[in-house]
Chain A
């Protein structure tokens, strides 16, 4: 599996994602600067977390208009797998690759902790190495993670299996106490309709090594390698 990681001014999880991808594939991923429109031919594009362009205007809004994102959108439409983590999720919604928007956390505070997530749909290259309804723990670190979409869009993402991960209690129950940021339907991660694009607020690359505290994120990368090699 060949992978590329997009780097914006203000990205800060690009290195973490690169390390995880290198461990999983045995090969350093390409890193592509936001001004480049030359993207190597790859099987997976990762839009990493951070604070691209200082979150000016809206989180992800400026990055979504950068030259490289036009190419990412074109590749995504051609079926190349694209994963956006945290700020990357915000960028993918601003680029309209995923429906809805990530708003300011309901409690207004920046949240930096490990959360419990339930795997909702394993029928994708991103989630095939997990079990359905498995509870995993990934760290979150965001100010704007409150997923919002209108009622029609929410009904559509629920009916068509587009929800990838939901915030839950440690027992796997969806309720307000398990939802850190007020996200609609506790949505933490979302696919596009074909499940070739995934955006998620929690960081699988920060749950990769035993030193991280847990390795629940590893299966996302090993699953991708298995599906795309």
Chain B
């Protein structure tokens, strides 16, 4: 089973890199981008075949290592 993990900064946490990307887009002529938030995308190849068990394991990975929950949120997608 594959797991896709999206790690993004929580709302209200300033994202200076996202801001810089926004400015760069603007200077390239891409108008109408109100806000840019950047994050991380992590793909995991899991031996686990049971969905619920995989969900639980990846949650634990996110809590312990993949995200710093002081500033980051995470979202998990599982695919067979």
| Residues of A that sit less than 8 Å from B by CB | 57-58, 61-62, 65, 93-94, 99-101, 103-108, 146, 148-150, 182
Contact = CB atoms under 8 A, between A and B. Distances in A.
A25 to B, nearest CB: 35
Given A57-B65, A61-B65, A65-B65, A101 B70 contact: yes
Given A106-B16, A108-B16, A108-B20, A149 B66 contact: no
Determine which residue in B64, B65, B70, B71 has the highest number of CB atoms from chain A within 10 A of its CB, and name it: B70
Given A57-B65, A61-B65, A65-B64, A149 B16 contact: no
13 contacts: A57-B40, A58-B68, A61-B68, A65-B65, A100-B70, A101-B68, A101-B71, A104-B17, A107-B16, A108-B17, A108-B20, A149-B70, A182-B16
Contact of B13 (A107, A108, A148): A148
Nearest to B71: A101
Interface in B42-80: 64-66, 68, 70-71
Interface of B: 13-14, 16-17, 20, 40, 64-66, 68, 70-71
Contacts of A150: 70
A208 to B, nearest CB: 32
Contact of A148 (B17, B20, B66, B71): B71
A74 B8 CA distance: 30
